[in-house]
Amino acid sequence: MAELLAELLERCRNGDESAYRIIVKRFQNKALDLAGAILMDKHLAEDAIQEAFMTAFNKLEQLRRPEAFPGWFRQIVRTEVRRITRKKNKQSNNTIQEKNAELSPRATAELMELKK
């Protein structure tokens, strides 16, 4: 029996865990496809959609029209993906800076010259 999204969302707002599971099952594959296509990493994509579902259900009261849930949730997934991407880039930059710090002053100067 396919339940209407509006009914499921209302049940979620009232703390019904079975409704939560149904919504997760209904939207997780598309969310995983979106996050995976952007992140190109299955594990990071899974982390992103897990965070997105938690965010969505914590902010469910902000959703005014139940029929808007798919687009609203997709935007939350994109936001989580951007957060993960920024974190990943920051970690990469920190690693590069650490490696550069290990270089001799001459090697650092040569590297800076190459970057120009």
Question: Average pLDDT for residues 82-96, to the nearest whole number?
Answer: 75
- pLDDT for the residue 81: 95
Q: Which two tokens stand for residue 86?
A: 């920024």
- pLDDT for the residue 3: 73
Asked if residue 94 has pLDDT above 60, the reply is no
Report helix, strand or coil for 62: helix
Cα separation, 67 vs 72, whole angstroms: 9
**Residue that has been written with the tokens 């469910």 in this structure:** 60
18, containing H or E segment: helix 17-39
Mean confidence (pLDDT) of the chain: 86
23, exposed or middle or buried, with CB in 10 Å at 0-12, 13-18, 19+? Answer: buried
Per-residue model confidence as pLDDT tens digits over 34-52: 999 999 999 999 999 999 9
Say what the pTM is.
Answer: 0.75
Asked if residue 87 has pLDDT above 70, the reply is yes
Instruction: Please report which confidence band the pLDDT of residue 57 belongs to, taking 50, 70 and 90 as the band edges.
Output: very high
